[in-house]
Structure 1
C-alpha cells in the first residue's frame, strides 16, 4: 500500500493588507487509510496569481437552504446491549464521549434513531404490548417499556447527558402481533379495526418514554412499509392507508394528548418517491406530517430533490443506510457514503443523516434474522471491548465533528470536475466545506468566498473538511 502523505494546503488572499487573514483549517481522509480525519497544517496567505487557472469551489453564504439537525447512527438493541454489557464503565464512558462529545476527539453525533419494539438487530422478537397467549389488548393494559429500559434507554440517556442537543427519532418495525392480519410480528399488515388503538399506542409510547428521560423528537409510523421481511419483524402498509391513519387516527390522538412530536412518512428507499408523494397529496395527512424520511438501499439519491422542491414546507431526512461486507473496500464504500449521504442527501434537502447500527460485534451481531454482514460505525470486540472504527465512522466524522446543530446549508457547486461539495455556516458564523475528490489523481483547487480565496489540494479518492 502506498503511504504517501499528501497534505491539503491552503492560503488566503486578504481583502486588504491591514486586515488579519483568517487561517484555513482542514482535515483529510484518504482511500488508502494513510490519513484518517487527519488535521493538516493551517496555512496563510498567497498572492492572487497563485490560484489563477485552478478549478474554483465558490461558497456563497447568501444562498440559504435547510438548517441542520445533525448526523449519527441508530442505537439499536444490538448496539445498546453491546455498549452496556461488553464494555466496562470506563470503556463505555470513553466510547460515548467519543461518539457524542465535541472537541478534537469527539464526533459530535447529534441525531439518533431507536426502534419501537424489535428489529432484526435485537436479541429476539418482541413488541411493547405482548399480551399473554397473543390475546388482543385494546386498552393497552399490557403496554410496557421494560425491554427498551434494559439497554437502549440507558444508552440514549447517557448520550443525551454528553450532548443535550441530541435529537431522537423512533420507528417501529411492526405493530404488536395482535393488531395484525396474520397474528405475527413477521410479515402481515395492520388490521383496519386496529387503527384507533395503534394511534393510542404511539401516543402512549411517546408519553411513557418522556417520563423516563427519553424524548421522541421525530416519529415514523413504519420502518420500510413496502417490505415484508421473512425472518424478522416487519409490516406492509400502503401509501393511501398510511395517509388515512395520519389524518384520521394519529393526528386526533396527538391532539388529545398534546403531543408535539414531528411525524415523518415513508422511512424507505429512494426508488419509490411516488409513495410519500401520494401521502402528501392527502390534505389531512399533509396538514399533520412534518416531512419525509428516506433510506439508501434502492434507487438513487437524486429522487429526493423533486419531492423536496415540490414540498418546501416539509422537512427531509435520510434515516437509514448501512455499510456491509458486500462493499468491503474502504476506499469504495467511504467515497460512496461521502458522495451520496454526506453530500448528495444533504444537497437533496436532508436536515439529518443516519446510518444504521451504531455498534456491532466482530461477528456483525447480535441479530435475530435479517442482515448477517451489516457494518456499524464501531466494532466492539465481545471478548476484550476493543474498538475498531470503520469507514462509516470516518465518512460521517467529516460532517458531524464540524457541522453543528442549527447550521445552515449554504451555496456551493455540486460538482467541479472530479470534486463534489457541500457547504455550511454554523450559528457562530464559521464556514464548513466538505469536498470529495472522486478522481484517481490529486486535485488542486480554489475555495473562494467573496474576496477570500484559499488554495487547497486533495489526494485521489480522498475527502476533506475545510473550515474558516
Structure 2
C-alpha cells in the first residue's frame, strides 16, 4: 500500500498522551450488566471516547432504561433482525510491528500485548491479518519470501522453504496473542510470490509467470506456509492469494499485478490442496479496494481491461467453489460496495481486511487524532459493519514514532500503538476505533437490526451499529458525526433511555 493511496482514505493517527499500559485494570467489558429477569433491559453500561482525548474508552455511569416514550432521534434496536456473524476485529503484527514490540523490555512488552489482546484487561483484539513474507512494513534491509533462491534459479520442490525468519519475532508474538485471546482468528496474505516465480525476477512489481508449473508451485508454497504456521502453533483461518492484486505500481515494496484469470488459476490449484492439508483454512478473493483505484486504472496496459469488476469475475469463475467470500480495503470507493457484493452473492461472506491511518507531516497531534477518530468511526467501525463486513481490520498494530521501520511504501502510516525508542508505549486513535468493537463484540456475535441516521459521507447525524453476543448481551456502537453534542434515544422493545454524546464522540453501550 503506497502513500498516495492513504491520502484517498483521508485518515490520520497520532499518539495520545495515554500509555497503553494504563488501560490494564479497567472494568471488564461485561461488568455491571443486568442479569435479572423481567420484560426488558434495566440499564446500559457506557464507554466513551472523545476527539479531544478528554475521554479515552472511559466508562461513564450506567444509564437506566424506562418505559417512557422517547422523543426526537431514536435508535431502535431489533434483536430479531439478524445479519452477518462476526469473526473479529484487529490489525496486523507486521515484521515492523514485531520489531518494535520485541524491542521493549519484557514487562512493557507484556503490558502492551495485554492491552491489545486480553479480552478482560485490554481491548480483546480478535482478528489478525498476517503478511506471508515481506510487505512494505519490514525491519529487514531487503525484501524476502519463504523460498528465496539466487537469481536465475528455481525451486519447484520448495527445498529452500523456511519460516525461520518469523520465529525470531513474529511467531512468538502471535503465540502470545493466541494465549491471551484463544478466540483469535488469523488471516494470511502474500504481497508477492517468490521472485523466481515472477516475470520480472523481482518481488517488486511484475506478474506470476503464466505457466501451469508456476500456478501449482505457488499454490504449494501457500499450502506449505499454512502447514508450517499450524505446526508453529498459529493455525490460519483465512488465506488470500495476493494483496491488492490491482496495484500495478508498488512504490519500492513487494507487489504483484495479478489479473483475474491468474487469481482464478491460482485458486483452482490451491483449493484442492488446501482442503486436504488444512480444512479449516478458507480462501478469500480479491483483498483490494471497494472500487478500483484511479491510478490502477491509469496504469492498466493499453491492450488489457482494468477489470473494475474484479471480485465479481472471480466469483463467476469455476474457482468460486473454493472461495468463502471477498476481502476489501478502504483506499478507493466506499463501504456500500460490500452490500452490493452481499446482495449479488448472499451465499458468500464479506470481510474488511485493511485500512491504515496516515497524516500530513506537519499536522498537529490534536487534529490528527480527531480526524482519525471521526473518519474511522463512521467509515470503518460503523460503515463496514453496517455493510455486511464480518471483520474490521486496520493495518500495523504498532510502529515507531516515525511510522516505521518500513522499506518502501508508506512513510506516514501509524499503528494502534506507537513504541518510542525509550520504551514508552502510547495509544493512537485506531486503538479506540477498533477497541469500541473488539472489547465489547465477541467472535460469533451477530449484527442485529438498528436504525441509523448518519452517513459515511458525513451528514452531521448520529450513526450506529448493534450486535448480539453469544452470551445474550447486546453491544450498540454509536458515533456522533456532528461537532456539537447530539441528544438521542435508544429503544429496545418497549423500553428506552435517552443520552447525549459530545461532538465527534464514539461510544459503546452494552446491556442484557
TM-score, normalised via structure 2 length: 0.84
CA distance in 1 between counterparts of 2:257 and 2:39 reads 61
Return 32-41 or 72-81, whichever deviates more.
Answer: 32-41
Q: 2:497 aligns with which of 446, 451, 454?
A: 454
Question: Does the Cα contact within 8 Å between 1:121 and 1:367 map onto a contact in 2?
Answer: yes
Contact 2:198-2:208 within 8 A present in 1 as well: yes
Which residue is equivalent to 1:189?
Answer: 207
Kept in 2, the 8 Å contact 1:407–1:426? The answer is: yes
Equivalence for 1:409: 447
Counterpart pick for 2:170 among 152, 164, 170? 152
Q: Which runs of 5 or more residues in structure 2 are unaligned? A: 1-33, 293-307, 455-459
CA deviation profile, 1:216-246 (whole Å, cap 9, x unmatched): 1110100000113130111010112212221
* Closer, same or farther: CA 20–270 of 1 in aligned 2, 3 Å: closer
Residues 450 and 198 of structure 1, relative CA distance in 2, 3 Å threshold? same
Partner of 2:470: 427
Q: Distance in 2 between matches of 1:209 and 1:179?
A: 22
Q: In structure 1, what is the equivalent of residue 230 of structure 2?
A: 210
**How far apart in 1 are the matches of 2:229 and 2:65?**
53
In the alignment, the residues of structure 1 paired with residue 152 and residue 143 of structure 2 have an alpha-carbon distance, to the nearest angstrom, of 13
Offset at residue 305 of structure 1 (A) = 1.0
Q: Contact 1:203–1:259 at 8 Å: present in 2 too?
A: no
Q: 2:195 corresponds to which residue? A: 177
Equivalent residue number for residue 15 of structure 2: none
CA distance in 1, matches of 2:123, 2:152: 43
Contact 2:90 2:126 in 1 (8 A): yes
1:276 corresponds, among 288, 311, 317, to 311
Helix, strand or coil: the match of 2:47?
strand
Q: How far off its partner does 1:456 sit? A: 1.1
2:153 and 2:160 map into 1 onto residues whose CA distance is: 10
- Find out whether 1:78 has 2:96 as its counterpart: yes
1: distance between equivalents of 2:237 and 2:67?
A: 49
Deviations 1:372-428 (A, max 9, x none): 11011000012x211111111111111111001111000012326701110000011
> What do you get for the CA RMSD once the two structures are aligned?
1.8
Partner in structure 2 of residue 242 of structure 1: 263
From 275, 286, 289, the equivalent of 2:323 is 289
**Residue in 1 that maps onto 2:384:** 345
CA offsets 1:87-138 (integer angstroms, 9 cap, x no match): 11111111111100022x3100000011111000012301100123451001
Q: Distance in 2 between matches of 1:316 and 1:309?
A: 11
Provide, for residues 308-364 of structure 1, a one-character-per-residue CA deviation record: whole Å limited to 9, x for no partner. Answer: 111111111111100011375222221110111111111111111111000000111
Is 1:394 matched with 2:429?
no
The reply to whether residue 120 of structure 1 matches residue 136 of structure 2 is yes
- Secondary structure in 2 matching 1:421: strand
1:94-173 alignment runs, 5 A limit: 94-103=111-120, 105-123=121-139, 124-173=142-191
Judge conservation of contact 1:180–1:191 (CA < 8 Å) in 2: yes
Q: Is the 8 A contact 2:66 2:495 kept in 1?
A: no
- 5+ residue gaps, structure 1, are 1-13
1:6: which partner in 2? none
Q: SS at the partner of 1:60? A: strand
Please say if residues 364 and 373 of structure 1, whose CA atoms lie closer than 8 Å, have aligned partners that are also in contact: yes
| CA distance in 2 between partners of 1:316 and 1:246 (Å) | 18
SS of equivalent residue, structure 2 residue 143: coil
Structure 1 residues 150-185: Cα deviation after superposition (integer angstroms, max 9, x where no partner): 111111001001111101111110000000001011
Are the equivalent residues in 1 in contact too, given 2:67–2:496 (CA < 8 A)? Answer: no
Aligned counterpart, 1:445: 488
Contact conserved, 1:134 with 1:177, CA < 8 A, in 2? no
Asked if 1 retains the 8 angstrom alpha-carbon contact of 2:239 and 2:282, the reply is yes
Flag the 1:37–1:128 CA change in 2: closer, same or farther, 3 A. same
Q: 1:455 to 1:87 in 2, by over 3 A?
A: same
Given that 1:423 and 1:432 are in contact with CA atoms closer than 8 Å, whether structure 2 keeps it comes out as yes
Q: How many residues align?
A: 446
Question: Residue in 2 aligned with 1:368?
Answer: 407
TM-score of the two chains, using structure 1 as the length reference: 0.92
From 363, 372, 381, the equivalent of 1:333 is: 372
Contact 1:420 1:435 in 2 (8 A): yes
Q: Report the 3-state secondary structure (helix = DSSP H, G, I; strand = E; otherwise coil) of the residue aligned with 1:350.
A: coil
